[in-house]
Amino acid sequence: MSLKWIDSLDIAIELCEQHPDVDPKTIRFTDLSEWVQALDDFDDDPTHCNERVLEAIQMCWIEEAKE
């Protein structure tokens, strides 16, 4: 399965697993964008990303980190 920008929850789960020591509330969007694009399963156009997309991913990651 390839991940797209709209797969906020799946991306958040991957990020949570790959960066367990990171507080998602403190990450800069520039770093978040780079980390998402570096995921093995990620396959989407970098230009399809915007602040709203990154906020959605960040919010899902925050929720995942709580669990």
- 55 pLDDT above the threshold of 80: yes
Residue at 1 is within a domain: no
Residue at 3 is within a domain: no
Note the pLDDT of residue 66: 87
- CATH number, domain with residue 52: 1.10.10.600
Of 39, 34, 32, which is closest to residue 1 (Cα–Cα)? 39
Residue at 58 is within a domain: yes
* Domain extent for 34: 8-66
Note the pLDDT of residue 1: 77
Q: Which residues pair with 3 in a beta bridge?
A: 42
Cβ–Cβ under 8 Å, residues 12 and 64: yes
Task: Report how far residue 63's alpha carbon sits from residue 67's, in angstroms, rounded to the nearest whole number.
Answer: 7
Note the pLDDT of residue 5: 97
- 67 pLDDT above the threshold of 90: no
Q: Please give the average per-residue pLDDT across 43-57, as a whole number.
A: 96
Per-residue pLDDT reduced to its tens digit, 15-37: 999 999 999 999 999 999 999 99
